[in-house]
Amino acid sequence: MSEPRVSVKAIVTLTVEVEVSDAWGGDCPMSQVSRQARESAIAVLSHTQSDLPAVRDSAIRRLRIVGVPIIKAIAVEEDRR
């Protein structure tokens, strides 16, 4: 009998800091700044998956992992075929 094949997957939660460099005037409402900053941060994270190296590299330079990674789950699957 052959050894079972085992695959292991983990889910890890990270806290990521994203530098957003949009331009807001002094009279811009904070609600607008917050909304646009959230949208820009999501766009930066999306760009890290780009097929265009210049876009991807620019986005990655704006990220920083802060805090300690948290292991949420570890799943082991055994295939006994």
The per-residue pLDDT for range 28-75, each reduced to its tens digit, is 999 999 999 999 999 999 999 889 999 999 999 999 999 999 999 999
CB atoms within 10 A of CB 30: 8
pLDDT (0 to 100) of residue 1: 62
**Domain range enclosing 16:** 5-22+29-79
* Residue 27: strand, helix, or coil: coil
Q: Is the pLDDT of residue 78 over 70?
A: yes
H-state helical runs in 20-76:
30-47, 53-60
Taking the complete model, does pTM exceed 0.85, yes or no?
no
Residue type present at position 24: W
Q: Is the pLDDT of residue 10 over 80?
A: yes
Q: How many domains does the chain have?
A: 1
Name the average pLDDT for the chain: 90
13-19-23-28 Cα dihedral, nearest 10 degrees: 40
